[in-house]
Amino acid sequence: MTDHDDHRDVRRLVPLKSRAFHILLVLADGDCHGYAIKQRVGEITNGVLRLGPGTLYESIQRLERNGLIEESPDRPDEAEDHSQRRYYRLTLLGRRVLQAEVERLGVLVDHARSRVPSD
């Protein structure tokens, strides 16, 4: 893939849906399994965004199909691992899309702050 192709893919995938953004944000901290992703999203949104199993795994599958995440071959120590769990990690494209979305949201927030009076 050339840089030009990569930039086109990033533009095609931004803006992200809220749940996709939060899943990528969690995975930016490192590999994680589905249930832990669900828990972390709840924590970082103070419970505002709750991902049910269907929504979570549908989002994970879509992120995988789009090349933003992949199953991680790395596993925790056997004592901490459950063989049924699938661990996920960001791909390089996923990192670039997350970065583009953070920049897009930053511009949006800056614009809003300049227009909305503070109390």
Quote the domain boundaries for residue 58: 3-115
In the predicted model, what is the mean pLDDT of residues 36-59? 96
Of residues 116 and 4, more confidently modeled: 116
Between CA 43 and CA 50 the distance in angstroms is: 9
Confidence at residue 9, expressed as pLDDT on a 0 to 100 scale: 83
CB 14, CB 104: distance < 8 Å? yes
CATH number, domain with residue 58: 1.10.10.10
Confidence at residue 16, expressed as pLDDT on a 0 to 100 scale: 97
Total structural domains within the chain: 1
Query: For the segment 68-103, what is each residue's pLDDT rounded down to a tens digit?
Result: 999 998 766 666 666 678 999 999 999 999 999 999
Of residues 116 and 77, more confidently modeled: 116
